[in-house]
Chains A and B, each alone.
Chain A
Amino acid sequence: DPKIIQKPKYLVAVTGSEKILICEQYLGHNAMYWYRQSAKKPLEFMFSYSYQKLMDNQTASSRFQPQSSKKNHLDLQITALKPDDSATYFCASSQDLGGRYEQYFGPGTRLTVL
């Protein structure tokens, strides 16, 4: 059974629209993260959450807003979508925040903005 679920797997949106990417983890972890992978670029850290609190934000744009309704949920709302937002978005989790905890990744949501 998948331990980290991301929905949807694929998403096509038009420029200017708004979308929400869903992430749920069933590993009992306390920390969750979002990463982005654009074409031909390294995976890029976006946000980290611990016990549903935002701990770090490396995303310059306020159009990206993480939302945590439960400890094991961390959704990503993206507003005013642009073609440059096209990427695969990965959710990850770890037992707790801190470099000594191994990270586990979800399967990703591939977003295409037309």
Chain B
Amino acid sequence: GQQVQQSPASLVLQEGENAELQCNFSTSLNSMQWFYQRPGGSLVSLFYNPSGTKHSGRLTSTTVIKERRSSLHISSSQTTDSGTYLCALDWGTGYQNFYFGKGTSLTVIP
């Protein structure tokens, strides 16, 4: 079946350190999206990145379809980056049913 796995499950960083979050999927996908979920629960779209590399400020997302993985790189982490990072995948088998991973919980300490 279709599966999505995120790693690590949790991560603690010292402010200023970099982070690499991974999203691995079991079958070829139609599209994928990275989200940031605030401690209060709301979701913010970070990247819509079905393939290739995208940059936004200190964030970089790279999706390699043939390797069935996507990564989210956070450079020079800040305490405000703390929260949960989710990848969501669409395998094109339904009407844009995004399947979410369990997320990576990131804590950045000062």
**B-contacting residues of A (Cβ < 8 Å)?**
31, 33, 37, 41-45, 48, 50, 55-56, 58, 88, 90, 94, 97-108, 110
The docked-state distance in angstroms from the alpha carbon of A60 to that of B66 is 33
| B95 and A48 contact, CB distance less than 8 A | yes
Which residue of the partner chain A has the closest CB to B49?
A102
| A108 and B88 contact, CB distance less than 8 A | no
| A105 and B45 contact, CB distance less than 8 A | yes
| B102 and A42 contact, CB distance less than 8 A | yes
Kindly identify which residue among B90, B102, B103 contacts A99, using a CB–CB cutoff of 8 Å.
B90
* B: contact size bracket: 20 to 34
Hey, which chain B residues are within 8 Å of A105, CB to CB? 35, 42-45
Give 24 CB contacts A-B under 8 Å.
A33-B96, A42-B102, A43-B86, A44-B100, A45-B99, A48-B97, A58-B97, A88-B41, A97-B96, A98-B95, A98-B96, A99-B50, A99-B90, A99-B92, A99-B96, A100-B30, A100-B50, A102-B33, A103-B33, A103-B98, A105-B43, A105-B45, A107-B41, A107-B42
Hey, which chain A residues are within 8 Å of B102, CB to CB? 41-42
Which residue of the partner chain B has the closest CB to A108?
B41
| B100 and A110 contact, CB distance less than 8 A | no
Which residue of the partner chain B has the closest CB to A50?
B95
Kindly identify which residue among B31, B41, B86, B101 contacts A100, using a CB–CB cutoff of 8 Å.
B31
For the complex with contacts A48-B94, A100-B30, A103-B96, 14 further pairs of A-B residues with Cβ separation under 8 Å are A41-B102, A42-B86, A45-B97, A48-B95, A55-B95, A56-B95, A97-B95, A97-B96, A99-B92, A101-B96, A103-B33, A103-B45, A105-B44, A106-B42
Chain A min CB distance to B21 (Å): 15
